[in-house]
Amino acid sequence: MKQFRKFSSASVFVVSMMAVLWLVGCAAKGAPEKTNCDASIKWEVVDEAKLIQFECALGKHEGYPSLIFTVGLENPTDKPLRYRLIIFLDDMDKANGHLVPRTGKPPVIEPGKSQTVKIPFMGTDKFSKKILVVVRTIEL
């Protein structure tokens, strides 16, 4: 029978702290410099996209109370790209998304340019406390 090596509480603490710091660093990757949303937000943003704005507000959309996100995306690469942006409200089991840009010939954001979109969650009359933001590129 194999014997298990005992670890000191200090080494367990150090390894645990390293894991927490790694997770925090991963969660912040792709985050915009500022956001007004008072929530725990996890960011999954590709390197080919830069979030320049992320705001949330309660308002009306098509006559319904809505939680409205305003998101600005910039193309930091040297080639034109199209993005898929999805916002998950994990604590409310809701999701909504947007193609950025939605239209155009071709529908792309040119290098160094940016575009802002609004994503409403119709029928939502309170702020989410747990959000996942996913930004991916789309092949044309």
| Tokens found for residue 104 | 């155009």
| Tokens found for residue 21 | 């710091």
- 9-138 has which CATH code? 2.60.40
60 φ, ψ (degrees, to nearest 5): -120, 140
pLDDT at position 8 is: 54
Average pLDDT over residues 64-74: 96
Task: Give the whole-angstrom CA distance, residue 100 versus residue 82.
Answer: 6
Could you tell me the pTM of the whole model? 0.77
* Residue ranges per structural domain of the chain: 9-138
pLDDT at position 35 is: 85
Q: How confident is the model at residue 34 (pLDDT cuts 50, 70, 90)?
A: confident
